[in-house]
Each structure stands twice: as structure tokens, then as C-alpha cells.
Amino acid sequence: MNYEYSEAFAQKMDQNDPLESFRDRFLFPKVNGKEAIYFCGNSLGLQPKSVKDYLEKELGNWADLAVDGHFEGEDAWMFVRQKSKPALAEILGTHPHEVVAMNNLTVNLHLLMVSFYRPTKDRYKIIIEAGAFPSDQYMLESQVKWHGLNPEEVIVELKPRVGEHTLRTEDILAEIHRQGDLLAMVNMAGIQYYTGQLFDMKTITAAAHAVGAVAGFDLAHAAGNAPLSLHDWEVDFATWCSYKYMNSGPGNVSGIYVHEKYADRPDLPRFAGWWGHDEGKRFLMEKGFIPMHGADGWQLANSNILALAAHQASLDIFQEAGIKNLREKSEKLTGYLEFLIRQISGKSGVLEIITPENPAERGCQLSLLIHQGGKAVFDEFYKHGVVGDWRNPNVIRLAPTPLYNSFLDVFRFAQILEQSLKKFA
């Protein structure tokens, strides 16, 4: 579309935005006494105003019912995990029985590796993108060592070509083909946290399966941000966190996806827990673990009720807004931010957008590589009310989030950018 660097254009876009009213459902922080331009949903999503009511409802159930709350009331705690499944299935492109909210992301990565990383003498390699988030790096290192293997010999890190910032899909596929029969697993991010690159998970999964490997993804930056169809893509497993684009509160509950082809596989190794045991026989307290159908069979402990209440407050908003509508706005909003940055920065040499230009290869995050000024550029943004995210050594991440950011937010950031570049150019 044809963008314009004008306040009138931004206001017109907001007036024609069918999701514009959702902004009022969130609480914005302040910088220097003024409402912030909050572009940090890729690190921590804003608090929905409704969270307080959702939490108070469960606190009331706890007060009024105590232990009976597990089996009585509108949302009996014994079955409360079911409530989030429809929204999660829509966001992730799965069947409800393929997903469940539980634990935290790194815990879930470890649990899924128990089931899906089964190295043998001949098939043991793991492919991951270079510079993966530490959660993935440390998890993989420890899992490989747990099997008595050397991470240096097992983990294959994919790096962009010289002079490029992101991976080419053909290079990922070529490495999968090259590893061939040695490859046990592809375990990459859905969106690379530093560059904002959205990987072609469908094609990568198909390539992994073609050589006899499994494919799993860390969707911390993809869930609630990019379009996902995990079931149709036949991704084997995935996990994510809910406190970024899903706005569920700092450190809040993660979740897992396991493809339905593993739904009834009691032979599949896993670290079992009471809450993953056959629900109909759970309270018989008998020996012999019988996993529940689908992703629920990977649960360990009973649900964190207050965490799920905060999670549900945001998920209900997602279902009302619609993930397709959010994606449509996201492409326009991020496109507007990209247009303004390129128009204003020009040939200043201060910054460079390293996130792919193609909307199909990114979510709502743009990563700016800072060539002059370093972190002082980020500090200048913040001083003028822009809450973004600094990542060492020299990247500012900005994420205009479609649920609560506006085109006017983007325009106002552009004005601050223009002012800041005069200082650092």
C-alpha cells in the first residue's frame, strides 16, 4: 500500500482499523510522566485491564470453595486446562487435543527432548540456528551431554552467508540434506529473536522428515505474532511462552504442542507425572503410568490456577479479535514502521534494518542494527518515550503489536527517530 509520513495519514489508518478499540483494553506504562510508545511486546506484552477481574474471580473461588474448587463451580480447577485449548489451537493452527498450557518454556523444551531426541550411534545430529536464544542453547547442550555425547560434535549451528544477517531457506534445506542419515532433529526458533526472521517451518519440517529426522520449534517469538499451522505442517512438537505477544504476565505459563500422530503413543519415552495420567483413573492412585490422549499426556503437575486465569484474560481477547485480523493489521503496521524508518534514516549510516523485507518472512518485529552511537541511540529513544528492547552487541528491537499499538504510535516514533538521527548522524 502507499504509506505517507504524516499525522493525518496515521490518524486515517487508525480510524479505519477494525481492531482500533482493542487498544483501550490494555494498560500502558509511562515514561517521564507520559504514556509510552510501547514497542516491546516481543519481550513482555502489556497487561489486559481484564486480568484483575479474572484473578479476583479465582481468588473468590479459593476463598469460598477452598479444596472443593477442584471439582465445583463454573471453572472447576480439575478441568480448567481445557478452557484455554480452543484459543491456543486457533493461534497455533492445531487441534485442541494437540495443545496444553503448562510449565515454563525451558522446562517444556527439556520434557519434549526426552521424548523426541532419541540419539543412536548412527543418527544423533541436531540442527539449530546460530545465535539462538540462550534457553535453546543451554537446553540443547545439557541434553546432548545427558546422552553422553559432545555438543561440539552433535549440534550443527546454521550461520547466514558472509555479509548477510539472516538465513536463506535453501541453505537450511541444503544442510538438512547434507546431514542426511546422521540427523536426528531440527530444533529451531519459529522466529529468530535477534533478527526477527520468521522461518519457513512447513518446508523445514518436510525436509527433516524426508531424511528421517523430527522437527520441533521454540515459538517464543512466533506464538500470537505470526500465522501458524503446526498440525497441517506436520511439525512434531513445539513450545512457547505466553508473556510476550500473548500478554499473560511476566514469567507466566508456557504450553506445548505435540502432533496428533503421537496422541496415543504410551511407548514414547517421557518424564511422567500425576496430571498426565489417565484422568478417569487418576484418583485410584495405582502404579503404572497411562498417558492421557494428546498433549495432555505430557503434563506433570496440577494446573497453576492463578497463572491460567491471567492467561485466559488475554486468550479471550485474541479469540474476539481473530488471529487472521491481527495478522492483517500487523503486516500494515510493521510495513508502515519500515517505510518511515527507511525514509527518515536514508543514507545516514546510523542504522540498518536487518529483519527480512518480505512480510511472509517476519512477524511484527523490526531489528535495527546500530552502526553509530551504540546504546546511546536506544537511550535517546527511551528518553523521548519509546520503550523498545536493546540486545547486545548492537541491535534495537521494535515490535508494533497489532492488539494495542496504533499507526499514530508509529508516526510519533518516526518523529522521535528523525530528531535522534540529527544527533547521531
Do both 206 and 351 map to the same domain?
Answer: no
Do 301 and 273 contact (CB within 8 A), yes or no?
yes
Does residue 3 carry a pLDDT above 90?
yes
CA angle 307, 28, 253 (to 5 degrees): 15
In Å, how far are 54, 114, 116, 154, 327 from 217, measured between CA atoms? 30, 15, 12, 18, 20
- Decide which of 270, 286, 320 is a domain's last residue: 320
- Decide which of 257, 292, 320 is a domain's last residue: 320
Confidence of residue 243 (pLDDT cuts 50, 70, 90): very high
Do 204 and 74 contact (CB within 8 A), yes or no?
no
- Structurally, the chain folds into a number of domains equal to 2
The predicted-structure confidence for 149-193, as pLDDT tens digits, reads as follows 999 999 999 999 999 999 999 999 999 999 999 999 999 999 999
C-alpha cell at 155: 549440534
Average pLDDT over residues 113-122: 97
In Å, how far are 26, 31, 133, 367 from 391, measured between CA atoms? 26, 20, 11, 10
Confidence of residue 221 (pLDDT cuts 50, 70, 90): very high
Whether residue 381 is contained in a domain is answered as yes
For cell 495478522, the residue is: 327
Measured distance CA(332)–CA(108) in Å, rounded: 34
Average pLDDT over residues 189-209: 98
Do both 412 and 334 map to the same domain?
Answer: yes
Do both 235 and 360 map to the same domain?
Answer: no
- Decide which of 299, 320, 341 is a domain's last residue: 320
Whether residue 62 is contained in a domain is answered as no
C-alpha cell at 304: 497453576
Whether residue 61 is contained in a domain is answered as no
Do both 106 and 198 map to the same domain?
Answer: yes
Do both 357 and 308 map to the same domain?
Answer: no
Do both 281 and 329 map to the same domain?
Answer: no
How remote is the C-alpha of 397 from its chain's centroid? 15
Q: What is the CATH number of the domain that holds 401?
A: 3.90.1150.10
Q: Tell me, what's the pLDDT at 346?
A: 84
Whether residue 73 is contained in a domain is answered as no
The predicted-structure confidence for 412-425, as pLDDT tens digits, reads as follows 999 999 988 888 76
What pTM was computed for the model?
A: 0.96
Do both 257 and 400 map to the same domain?
Answer: no
Do both 201 and 295 map to the same domain?
Answer: yes
Do both 327 and 316 map to the same domain?
Answer: no
Whether residue 74 is contained in a domain is answered as no
Do both 39 and 180 map to the same domain?
Answer: no
What's the chain's average pLDDT?
96
Do both 358 and 248 map to the same domain?
Answer: no
Compute φ and ψ for 162, nearest 5 degrees: -55, 130
The predicted-structure confidence for 55-71, as pLDDT tens digits, reads as follows 999 999 999 999 999 99
Whether residue 91 is contained in a domain is answered as yes
Q: Tell me, what's the pLDDT at 421?
A: 84
Give the range of the structural domain holding residue 330, as residue numbers without chain letter.
Answer: 7-47+323-424
Do both 237 and 123 map to the same domain?
Answer: yes
Whether residue 63 is contained in a domain is answered as no
